[in-house]
Amino acid sequence: MGWEESLEEQKLLLNLLRVDGIGPARLRALINRFHQPSAILGGSVAELSKLAGITPETASAILECGSSRFGSEQIEKLGSESAVLLTPWHREYPELLRRLADAPVCLFMKGKTDWKTAFSLAIVGTRRPSEYGR
């Protein structure tokens, strides 16, 4: 099992996405540099600040996000709903989505599917809608 299937790593990934200034593109850059969420949190402000767009303030917030309960709460909620979190690094992430330059960083999936042969329905949205999106 790789990091992408570890519940602890998934919790950290969700916490990272809650940091102001960290969106899908920066999260991908962080994963490319550090290889997994726990390694990102093991970095230093100086190391994190070397990445484009990450200020020392954002780097500090990244290092502090590991103690947030948000990721744990979300994973617990997924478990109670018999749902799972898929990321582009997970082996079951849909290949057609993975090919997109701006593929979703998190898919919350309930049920089982064969991505290659079955038609699927997805409901896509944001967890933080703008005023316009509400």
Is residue 42 included in any domain, yes or no? yes
Residue 51 domain-assigned? yes
Task: With a cut of 70, say whether residue 120 has pLDDT above it.
Answer: no
- Examine residue 82 and state whether it is found in any structural domain, yes or no: no
Contact present, 62 and 16 (Cβ < 8 Å): yes
The tally of domains found in the chain comes to 1
> Is residue 134 one of the residues assigned to a domain?
no
Please enumerate in sequence order all residues whose Cβ is within 8 A of that of 50, keeping only pairs 6 or more positions apart, or say none: none
Q: Using one digit for the tens of pLDDT, what is the confidence trace for 19-60? A: 999 998 899 999 999 999 999 999 999 999 998 789 999 999
- 64 within a domain of the structure (yes/no): yes
The answer to whether 23 and 43 are in contact (CB under 8 A) is no
Residue 123 counted as domain residue: no
56: domain CATH number?
1.10.150.20
The residue count for the chain? 134
Instruction: Report the mean per-residue pLDDT for the chain.
Output: 87
Question: CB neighbours (10 Å) of residue 70?
Answer: 13
Q: How far apart are CA 95 and CA 107, in angstroms?
A: 13
Which residues constitute the domain of residue 33?
A: 3-70
Which stretch of 26-35, 36-45, 61-70, 108-117 has the lowest confidence by average pLDDT? 108-117
